Amino acid sequence: MTFVHRTRIKICGLTREEDVRAAVDAGADAIGFVFYPPSPRFVSFARAAELARLIPPFVSTVGLFVNPERSYVEAALAAVPLQVLQFHGDESGTDCLGYGLPFIKAARMRPGLDLLKYAASFPGAQGLLLDAFVEGYGGGGETFDWSLIPSRLPLPLILSGGLHAGNVAEAVRCVQPWAVDVSSGVESAKGIKDAARITEFVAGVRHAHG
Ligand SMILES: O=C(O)c1ccccc1N[C@@H]1O[C@H](COP(=O)(O)O)[C@@H](O)[C@H]1O
């Protein structure tokens, strides 16, 4: 099957230098830092700033937040060179605006969620990230029923939730997202990425394109 675009790849929840290098070397388009303290992948702003120095031009740096205070996001922006914000909690459309950066909004997929209505409530969003509905907001390594995704969405779709090298090609062919986002599926332990799994994941995405 021929796609009109190259599926973008975001690797999220990096905590170590070698993992950033592995993601960049494998061809990731974006690197995510988790600024949600309860997450096992949490990094401080200082740590994220150190890691961000390893990220070359044209690879985006994404800051992930869950229900943050505005001052917390502002502090992140002052400390870390972020290009995109990812809001992964119960934020409203207004909560996500006003930072002077593009943002993507996560929807935690469950039966009954009206995704078109949900997307419309985030008028400033640059993309809609679809994740499984898990305890702890995200990063649970669980897939969701892709048939719940409407065929036409008003925003670029970023597919996440339980993706790994073994299912990502099928996911890309089935959903045809703008981008995929992965955390657990390229880890050897929570917060510890595995270079081989990252490489295999990227190859899986590229393989989907035939
Ligand atoms: O990674 C986390 O710890 C995390 C914590 C809170 C909210 C989101 C989080 N990660 C995001 O969750 C999805 C799915 O991750 P996985 O591949 O299933 O582990 C992904 O978008 C991560 O960015």
How far apart are alpha carbons 131 and 64 in whole angstroms? 13
**pLDDT tens, position by position, 69-120:** 999 999 999 999 999 999 999 999 999 999 999 999 999 998 888 999 999 9
Domain 8-208 is found in CATH 3.40.50.740:
no
How far apart are alpha carbons 44 and 65 in whole angstroms? 12
- A 10 A CB-CB count for 177 gives 24
pLDDT at res. 151: 87
ipTM given for this complex: 0.98
For residues 199 and 19, is the Cβ–Cβ distance under 8 A? no
Its pTM surpasses 0.90? yes
Q: What's the pLDDT band for 138 if we cut at 50, 70, 90?
A: confident
How far apart are alpha carbons 198 and 210 in whole angstroms? 19
Best residue for ligand 1 mutational test, from 60, 85, 104, 183 (most atoms within 8 Å of Cβ): 183
Tell me: pLDDT of 45 over 60. Answer: yes
- Return the residue matching tokens 């021929």: 2
Query: Closest by alpha carbon to 202, among 175, 160, 168, 153?
Result: 168
Q: Is 131 labeled as catalytic in the residue annotation?
A: yes
Position in ligand 1 atom list of the atom nearest CA 13 = 1
Position in ligand 1 atom list of the atom nearest CA 162 = 18
H or E element at residue 107? strand 103-109
Tokens representing 53 are 């120095």
Q: What's the pLDDT band for 210 if we cut at 50, 70, 90?
A: low
Tell me: pLDDT of 3 over 70. Answer: no
**pLDDT tens, position by position, 23-37:** 999 999 999 999 999
